[in-house]
Amino acid sequence: MKSLKEEVVKLDSRSRKPRVWGEEKRREVFIMVMSGKPGHQVSKESGVSVEQIVKWKREVWWRDWVDRYCEDRQADIFGRMNYESEKIYKGYMGVMEGVDPNDKTANAKVQGMRLYLEAGKSPVVNKRAQMTVNNNTLNIGLDMKKIGELTADELLEINLTGRIPEKVRVQEVGGE
């Protein structure tokens, strides 16, 4: 990976002259792209060809910037949720206590609380650590009651290896 001070020399397709794109220009283009502007508009405003932008999107540094940008945005949103946490909690409790039975925003208030509890680096409700066995498993002869009795380690093993233990398979009576 090139150092931050190094500049990338590319050929601009419109002028056919070599162009030097420094980090400042790449950052300007990146911000426009991440803000949702279409490629042709970014090209027009920045002076960087659409082809060059497409090439940049394939670069490792671009993917690193995307990862950092998304992490920062999520942290910003979680920070705002923390700031408003008292409102989130009061809204949720109002719904649970039935303060306003005609509240048209009750679902949004409950979902807001759920999202708040699932957000951040150490969520109260950690959905990332949960595994769900979907209903399609019934079609391949599994005993759902026995699946419910599996430990978290056994479920993880199934998820990682794809191998189903014999103890959860439906036992046929009578056989052939």
Domain-wise residue ranges, the chain: 8-66, 84-125, 135-168
Per the listing, tokens 């950092």 go with 68
Paired tokens of 24: 């400042």
Alpha-carbon torsion angle 154, 155, 158, 159, nearest 10: -140
**Mean pLDDT of the 54-70 span:** 92
Strands 18-21 and 8-11: antiparallel
pLDDT 10s digits, 85-114: 899 989 889 888 888 878 888 889 888 888
Share of the chain above pLDDT 90, in %: 28
Paired tokens of 168: 């959860």
Q: From the CB of residue 106, how many other CB atoms can be counted at a distance below 10 Å?
A: 18
Alpha-carbon distance of 31 to 42, in angstroms, equals 10
pTM tops 0.85: no
pLDDT score of 122 more than 80 = no
